[in-house]
Amino acid sequence: MSILLINCHVISPDCDIENVAVLIEGEKIKQLYPDSSSLPKADEIIDAEGQMVVPGFIDVHCHGRSGFDFSDATQEAMDTIAIDKLKEGVTTLLPTTLTLSNEQLAASLETAAAYVKSGKKGCKIPGVHLEGPFINPCCLGAQNPDYVRLPDIEEVKELAKIFPVRKVSYAIEVEGGAEFAKQLLAEGITPSCVHSAAKYSEFKEAAKYGLKNLSHFCNQMTGLHHRDIGLVGAGLLNKEVFIELICDTLHICPDMIELIFELKDTEKIQLITDAMCAAGMADGEYSIGGLPVVVADGAARLKSNGALAGSTLELCTALKNVAEITGKPLSELIKSTSWNQAQSLGLEKHGRIEPAYFADIVFLSDDFKPTKVFVNGELRFK
């Protein structure tokens, strides 16, 4: 099956070309045609009508949306999240867990395994992201204190037998935390630090073991201080460190977003949603990890203490916000929606609109709303 996309405004890392045609054969991109005067034949022709055509987004940190949470551990929750994430341009997803019991985590991973086996037409799911349970109990945020425990590579390995674990976010300063990074990397899992009170010296120790990721940067981590630059300082100072950003202008204010993009190489920034079940839903009362949440004006906060409890952000909106705040070229910013995530996780042939790359492609309107979404060359949302 071949599909020819015509009249495309292709925006890919370091590439911004109008009036391009893109030939898809099977699951991958076959060729780009900047000169539309001589185009190949195809089984189907789709006119992009000059819209932005970008690589499909990769959300590496998302708990839920559309009224469901991945940690609900139901098949309906998993299937709905994976299908509805297409609406925001996400073609690859790492469903993200919470600090819960081992039994609850295992049940969630079982739903991801069943989703992939079923062949349902939503996002690609190459694995899951464990946020917790190995966090600092003094930096809970919206995590449940009842299930916090020390890093345990054997627990992670057992969970990975159910479904691949691609990323683990944890506190590096707890007992065994620095060495845990090396243990995760040995299993092909990306270690990341969050919900942490680590000092900069503790970051440097974990970095010796291979740590080079910081989850939801600035949130639930040690801030920048002139006597100890903490984890925020670590993310800004260290060129090899990937950082995740929740760019809803609430978790990080616009001025901080602008500052980060000025100081940090865009190739090390990953836009995420950290979305909870209220994403795509109206304001009201919800829950996360069994904790009551109130959503008002799109902001999700714990009912008990008002702490932020994930977001209701969509990834297409995150890109729009960053474009408006920074004014940087989209050919640079687009790296933060998929290419950087692919590099961090070792996902080959993802995140670019180039020959031999997977045909994960999104058409975006002028207001950054997805109008068509292709996954592995198949139109799955319009």
In the chain, how many H helices and how many E strands? 10, 21
Residue 74: burial class (beta carbons within 10 Å; 0-12, 13-18, 19+): middle
Return d(Cα 378, Cα 56) in angstroms, integer. 12
Q: Which of 274, 297, 366, 367 is catalytic?
A: 274
Contact 209, 181 (CB under 8 A): yes
Comparing CA positions, the residue from 254, 217, 255 lying closest to residue 234 is: 217
Contact 245, 286 (CB under 8 A): no
- Is-catalytic flag, 14? no
Return d(Cα 204, Cα 334) in angstroms, integer. 30
Comparing CA positions, the residue from 252, 222, 249 lying closest to residue 321 is: 249
Scored b (16 or more CB within 10 A) or e, 257-272 reads bbebbeebebbbbbbb
Query: Left, alpha or beta for 144 (phi > 0: left; psi -120 to 50: alpha)?
Result: beta
Point out the residues that are catalytic: 274
